Amino acid sequence: MPSRPFLRALLVGGLVALAALLALLAWREFTAGPEPAPARFDPGAFVRSRPKLDAPYVVTDYEVVDAMLAMAEVRPDDHVVDLGSGDGRILIAAARSHGARGLGVDIDPARIREAEQNARAAGVAHRVQFRRQDLFETPLAEADVVTLYLTPEVNLRLRPRILAEMRPGARVVSHDFDMGDWRPDQRQRIGSATIYLWVVPARLAGRWTLTVDGRRHVLDLSQAYQELRGTIAAGGRSVRVEQGQVAGERVRFVADLPGGRRVFEGRVQGESIEPLAPDAGWRAVRAG
């Protein structure tokens, strides 16, 4: 039978060995590097932000949607482009209630997936398309109607492209935000929301040859959106263009010509302005 001194020595030795083992483990943990990342691990996935949006995503009430489409007089043969289409409700309503076709663009892929699902559920997926795209890179020339719910700043950035690319008579309707000094052709209050409508004016600035009752005159026009100003060189003097207005392809102005005060009402057709009345006795052609 072992003596007490022997057992005591054995116990002390075991404790010393255990302490040494614990110290070794602690040293290895302290000096070890970070655990290597598993294969296919992408640290950037944890910090990658969502797409940067040009405007915050805020849904438009269905009452406002209906009013926007009614104000724009959307027709079955119209091509509607919704810039910042969100869940697709404006374009889906244009297809379902008005028979239109169109394109919705949004930078957020989650919104595109949601809009596509909503279009399928509404039974109009064959009439509308949703595309992940920068709204500033979206072509506008084929649009009959453009719908917006963006911000004042984005509207102003879009304004030059709308005026340059969209055909005269095309319509733009915006929820809550205007276009700066381009005054709207219509404005309507719907609950707490305001909607605005613009009809894209024909581009008339420049020099024209105006023929009135067989006499040719030089017509110089300047334009600020729907408003026309200018002069007519007639009878050796310069006559001021008055009350000049453009509404889509329609043009109207008044001038005191040598033969008397005259009202000109016409329609832009390519590089000419043709009078609305066939026997009006005048016509204007853009000067080369």
Q: What is the residue range of 186's domain?
A: 62-199
What span, in angstroms and rounded, lies between the C-alpha atoms of 267 and 188?
28
Residue among 156, 54, 153 nearest 105 (CA): 54
Last residue of a domain, one of 135, 165, 199: 199
What span, in angstroms and rounded, lies between the C-alpha atoms of 245 and 222?
11
Whether residue 10 is contained in a domain is answered as no
185 shares its domain with 213: no
What stretch of H or E contains 242? strand 242-247
Residue 125, domain CATH: 3.40.50.150
191 shares its domain with 90: yes
Whether residue 48 is contained in a domain is answered as no
Kindly report the pTM of this predicted structure. 0.79
66 shares its domain with 171: yes
- Region 46-70: mean pLDDT is 70
pLDDT value of position 235: 82
170 shares its domain with 272: no
For 120-175, write each residue's pLDDT tens digit.
999 999 999 999 999 999 999 999 999 999 999 999 999 999 999 999 999 999 99
pLDDT value of position 46: 31
Handedness of CA 32, 33, 34, 37 (dihedral sign): negative
| Domain total of the chain | 2
For 187-219, write each residue's pLDDT tens digit.
999 999 999 999 999 999 999 999 999 999 999
Whether residue 251 is contained in a domain is answered as yes
State the chain's mean pLDDT as an integer: 87
Whether residue 185 is contained in a domain is answered as yes
